[in-house]
Structure formats: C-alpha cells, structure tokens
A and B are shown apart, each in its own frame.
Chain A
Amino acid sequence: MKDKSLVVSIAPYIKAKDSTKKIMWLVSLSLIPAGAAGAFIFGIYSLYVIAASVLSAVITEAAILAVRKKEIAISDGSAVLTGLLLAYNLPPEVPLWLPVVGSFFAIAVAKQLFGGLGHNIFNPALAGRAFLMLSWPIYMTTWKNPRWLPDAVTSATPLALFKNTELDLLKGVSYQDLFLGNRGGSIGEVCIIALLIGAAYLFYKKYLTWHIPLSYISTVAVLSWIFNGRNGLFSGDALFFILTGGLVLGAFFMATDYVTSPLSPRGKIVFGLGCGFLTFIIRRFAGYPEGVSYAILMMNAAVPVIDKYTFPKWFGWEKKT
C-alpha cells in the first residue's frame, strides 16, 4: 500500500453540508416574497430600484476586493443580500441613482473599509440607508400609496400619521391592510405576510432563532401598549405598532444579521430589548416617525460590549475553583 497517497490533516474528517454561500443565497431567497409583493403593490419601477441596488452592491464589492488584492468572492451572495436589503428600505419611487450611491456607501464604507465580510460593525444596508437619509432627506421621505389607490403619489405612511397628528390611527387603513401591505411605506417593509413567509422558511432552516425577533418585537409591543395610547397608560394599540413601519423587516431580517449581532443567546435577547427600546423612543419622541434603522445601528455599536458581558458560563461552571 502506497503511503504517498495518504492525506494527513486534523479531525474532523467529515463536515456538515452548509456553507456561508448557501446561507447567504437562501436568506436572499427568503426575501423574494417581500420584494415581489412590493413590486406588485407599488409597480414595476420598484424592481428597477432593487436591481440598481443589487448591481451597485455587487460591482462595488468586486472592484474593492480587486483593489484589496483579495479573492473576488461576490458569488458568496453577501453583496447581493446587502443590495437587496437596502432596496427594501427605500421608498418605491426614488431616482435610480439613489440606490446606486446608497449601495456603494453600504459596501465600500460600511463593509469593506471595516475589513470586509465578517468584520463590519454596522449593518451595511442600514448604514447605507442612514447615509441616504442624511444626504437626500426629501427623496427618502417621499412616499407613495399602493398603485390601485386613487391618491397614487406623495402620501404619508401610517406611522407618520401617528407622529404628526394623534388622530385615530386606523383612519383609512385596517389591520388587514397593514398585514397585506395595502399602505404606503418602503418597498420591502409593507407586506407583512410576505416577510413572515420568508422568516418562517429561515426558522425552518435554523438560520434564524427566536431570540432577537421575539425580544425586539415584544419590547416595542409592550412599550407601545403602555405609552402610546390616547386614553392614558396601557391603552396603546400594540398591534398597530408591530405592523407599521419597518419593524417586521427589521426584527427578522436586519437585526438578526449574523455579523452585526451578538453571539450568545443572552446577548441576542439584550440586543433585541435594546433595539425595541430605542425604536420606541425614536418613534415616540424623536424627529423621525420610524426608528428601526437607527435603533439597530446604535445597538450594532453596542455589540462588542454586549458580547463581553454576556459571554456564556460554560459546562461545569458552578463548581469552578
């Protein structure tokens, strides 16, 4: 028997079938229902926004990886996912150069400047959105109603109504409308059912765990119920605040981004609680009607500290000498 043919390496000699590439592409796949719903609700132009965002992200990543003399690993699907998520956070009628610039910022600054995949502190798509909000606030807050409604241009979103008036929140919009996406909002955030279908798939594949979505959404729900009602404390419409804005998109797909969220289960719960608290504060007291993006970005910054203080106690800890 020829010894020379033997390959020597360290165990284990079998590996699970999953890969980073597979995970990224399957997450993108799970987001397709939400994007398709957005295009259906707001019109074909939304698809151009999505395409522009994704293309810009991929090209930016390829170019920068080449400059960094690294392997051009755009087939790992992470740039595509960033482009997709950025587009889902944009109003449906933005000029196409807007997502192009936004994706460039997301990939070049928020991701590659920090060291590339695995090393970024901030969620790149949300960083891109924040950059666009700062630079072009008019474009980023010019909403549109679903295409079958008569007033097809420049309408406020339900959350904006809450911020600016204090009228009956459900004026002209039912829970069903909110759930199905029959309202103004960003391309990927409005159709809750489509988002939940995608999230359910990720739960099934065990790419998502309950910790962040549950702690995030329930914190917003409880705080909104306590403080956001018209009839004093504990009269808030929790369901309204769960279904509006970018909370469902954010809680299931953005706050749960592996790279920018804590490692341990306890850390994830703390992270979700923090996101929920900040989202509520911004929605209630700050200048913007929606707080999901900034809440998550601020909590992203806290992740190293959260990781440090929620480092798990391991097997045999209690009787440690």
Chain B
Amino acid sequence: MLIKTFPGGVHPPEFKELTADKPIKKAPLPKRVAIPLIQHTGAPAGPKVKIGDYVKTGEPIAETKALITSTIHASISGTVKAIAMFPHPVIGECEAILIEGDDRDIAYAEPRPRSNVSSLSPDEMREIIRQAGIVGLGGAAFPTHVKLSPPKDKIIDTVLLNGAECEPYLNCDYRLMIEKPAEILKGLKVIMDILNVKKAYIAVEDNKKRAADSLKAALANYETLRSAYEVRITILKTKYPQGSEKQVIKGILKKEVPSLKLPFEIGCVVSNVGTAYAIYEAVYFNKPLYERVITVSGAGVAEPQNLLVRIGTLISDLIDSCGSLAGDVGKVIVGGPMMGIAQYTFDVPVIKGTGGVVVLPRREIDESEESVCIRCGKCIEACPMGLVPTTLMYRVKKERFYEAKELGIMDCFECGACAYVCPAKIPLLDYMKLGKAKAGRR
C-alpha cells in the first residue's frame, strides 16, 4: 500500500535525533521579556499598560478592536520598563512592551479547572479562545478565533490536526504529541464542537511513529471522542514540506485548495497540534497563551533541548539555558533551516509563532556561489505547488513582475524546496519573495 503524500517536495537531512528523545523541560523563568505588539497575522495590538505599571503573569497587556487581531498577555510578573521599538524575529523591528521581571511569577488569575466545558456553546468557546490570545502555533500565527469563524456560506465538514512537523531540527510538536496526547485530543474536540464537525484526521509523518502510537493510545481511552466522532490518525510520508496545510489536505483528502484561496473553500479547517493544546489549556483551565514549547537545536548550541518557554524570552537568555554557544556561531535561525529567519542580533524575543531556534556554527553556513541555471528541472520537481521556479526567477530578474504573477508566483508559500535543491545554487527563494512583494503591489 502506498503511503499518503503530496506531489513534489524534497528530503533534507532531519537532524531531529538531536532532541527527539528529550522530554519537554520548563525553561528557567526569564529575568526580563520583550513582548512585541505584532505576533500574529492581522492588526497590531495596542498597549493597555503604561511604563511603571506592575503586571502579573497572564494579564492582558495589549489588545485592539480590529476584526483580525489577537490579545497579548504578560508572560511574567514584573514592572513595565519601556514600550519601545525592539528587534522582532520576523519583521526586523517592532514596538514591544519590555517587562522587568520580579522573579515571583505571580499569576493574574490562578488557572482553575472549568467545570462546565461540555455545556459551553461554540460562541462561548470561541470567545474564551479569543480572550486567551491563541493564534496558530504552527508558524503563521493566524488568530485562532477568526480561523474558527469561517464565512457563513462555507460548510466545514473536516478538521485536520497538523502534527507533520516537517522542518529539520524541530521536535516541539513531536514531543507534545508523545507527552500530552489526551490534552491535544481534548483541544481537537473543542475545535470540532465549535465548527460542528464530526470528522477529523490527525496528520503525523512516518518518522514520528512514537507520536502516532501515543495519540492512538490516548484516542482509545477517550470514549466520547471515539464513539460520537470519527477521528483518524493518518501517517504521511516524511517529506518536506508535508507540514504545509495545503499539502496536508492534499495528502490526506487528495483534494487541492483552489489557487490563492484558503482551506475553508473546500470544507476544511487545519490547526496545529500545539494550537490544539493551547486551546485545551484555555478552555479547560482558563489559561491564556503566554508560553509555548520550542525546540532549541543545532550544532552551535551546547545542549539542544525542547523547552517550555515564556513568550518574550530573549534568545540570548534561551541559549544560555541550553549550555550556551558551542564554538563559533554563524547563524541564529528563528524557525527551522528551510523557512526560518536568520537573526541579526541575539537579543530578539521568542514570539507566539516561534517553534524553534536553530543555531548553526560558522562551519555549517552554506556559502555556495550562485551560477547559471542549466534548466535541469529539479526545482520544478521539488515545488509542492507545481510552479516553475526557474521561469519565475527569470521573470523577476527581468523585473517582469506582472508576468510572474500570471505564472503563479502568488501561490508560492516560500517553503524553500526549490532553493534547497538547485544544483546551480541559485537563491531561488530570494527571487520568489521579491517577486511576490513586487507583484502583490499592483
């Protein structure tokens, strides 16, 4: 029987063995945090606090009335030291609330189990998720309460939970599935109840059999979910970028989300397993999103591990709690080595969408020189969206952005598979990003 997969893709080395068997550990409480006002897709939040205010862990400190936005909470207790521009891992710089911690971690509201979960209405659950500031933890950080409110005319019949985690080095979802499978399933049920969906699939790559087994065992014990719903744990072929939501849908349901559209167009909603866990904590324990699991890995850090990290922790502090740097550092990547973002400073905070920090030593930096395209076609074989990266590259090079748009560049989700595989070492992703930015302006 052929294992489920999607067309295209590449097979980078996994490097997952560095942290695959390391249980999630609580990172030491940071002495200070920098909490950016943009940690989500959508409108930036506006600060609710001012300099000098004392805030408690879990206290909402920034929000706004826009439709697509997310509330932001303090991740430690302490004093607001500044509200100023600060390095941001994705957009370079952003206004952030800097909190000087008092090391006491005083909770704003003690997490207490909610007794009436089963009687909550979809709207009530959505509101809890909104107030908890939950966004997609798979990386795109789309506000979850908005994702769980699809347009009224779109019928949703399937929920897909994404445990594929295809980026090399990263293991946060893997460890979460092994250690907290029951909680993830409870979060899944919340999602399904909000959307009134009875069918769900949990996507797991075949290099994570232990996680799949863990989920299967938890499902066997979860009477309600097993009997009244149809939940299938589906193994997918290990291939990058299997974790992209469109590729998860293609692999499991064999359906393609229409060009430039979102999954709800074909009746699906995809959510990350980490998001499901955060939903569980919010709905069952009233806990807002102020910490998440992150894999810190790479040969450039002395003790790679999986940590439960407070949002806003500076990467310099995070690396210190992993035995500090191992030798000459070359790159500090927020995210994985395929789609992550190389940082220009160590003093940059972890945000809601951060799944990993990969530190590469100097010797592992790729310094290959770009040479001419020989039309080998490997980029075309690799592209999970069926695009022709070399043709798009030439259009962008010649500044024919409108043509690039006609040839599909806006459907590129920047996975980097093309640039990974190009034998001429052409920085294809650079061209795709430039082309998308220029073509999108019209």
Contact = CB atoms under 8 A, between A and B. Distances in A.
Given A14-B13, A119-B372, A19 B425 contact: yes
Nearest to B427: A10
B103 to A, nearest CB: 23
Contact of B408 (A20, A259, A314, A318): A314
Interface string B297-335: 000000000000000000010010000010011111101
B338 A14 contact: yes
Contacts of B120: none
A15 B425 contact: yes
Nearest to B390: A263
Interface string A232-276: 000000000000000000000000001101011000000000000
B374 interface: yes
B360 A13 contact: yes
Interface stretch (A1-9, A132-140, A196-204, A294-302): A1-9
A11 B344 contact: no
A315 B385 contact: yes
Contact of A20 (B319, B383, B423, B433): B423
A7 B371 contact: no
A127 B351 CA distance: 58
A290 to B, nearest CB: 27
Contact of B411 (A11, A19, A315): A315
Size band of the interface chain A makes with B: 35 or more
Contact of A314 (B332, B411, B414): B411
Nearest to B257: A316
Contacts, number: 178
A312 B377 CA distance: 12
Nearest to A1: B346
Contact of A316 (B256, B328, B383): B256
Contacts of A117: 372, 374
A263 B375 contact: yes
Contacts of A11: 333, 335, 337-342, 414, 416, 419, 429
Contacts of A207: 376
Contacts of B207: none
Interface in A47-73: 73
Given A8-B343, A319-B265, A14 B411 contact: no
Contacts of A319: 256, 258-259, 261, 265
Interface string A297-321: 0000000000100011111111111
B81 to A, nearest CB: 21
Given A3-B346, A13-B337, A314-B411, A118 B430 contact: no
Contacts of B378: 18
Contacts of B36: none
Interface string B400-426: 000000011001001010011111110
Contacts of B376: 23, 207, 258
Contacts of B385: 314-316
A258 B374 contact: yes
Given A10-B427, A263-B377, A315 B246 contact: yes
A9 B375 contact: no
A12 B167 CA distance: 11
Contacts of A1: 316, 319, 325, 329, 346
B256 A15 contact: no
Contact of A12 (B13, B408, B416): B416
A22 interface: yes
Interface string A98-129: 00000000000000000011110000000000
A311 B386 contact: no
Given A20-B371, A22-B423, A116-B372, A3 B344 contact: yes
Contacts of A318: 256, 258
Contact of B388 (A76, A263, A316): A263
Nearest to A23: B423
A16 interface: yes
A263 B332 CA distance: 36
Among A20, A116, A118, A316: residue with most chain B CB under 10 A: A316
19 contacts: A6-B332, A7-B330, A8-B343, A10-B429, A11-B335, A11-B339, A12-B420, A13-B338, A14-B168, A14-B366, A14-B420, A20-B374, A23-B376, A116-B372, A118-B374, A119-B372, A314-B386, A315-B259, A316-B385
Interface of B: 10, 12-13, 168, 246, 250, 256-261, 265, 316, 319, 325, 328-333, 335, 337-347, 358, 360, 362, 365-366, 368, 371-378, 380, 383-388, 390-391, 407-408, 411, 414, 416, 419-425, 427, 429-430, 433
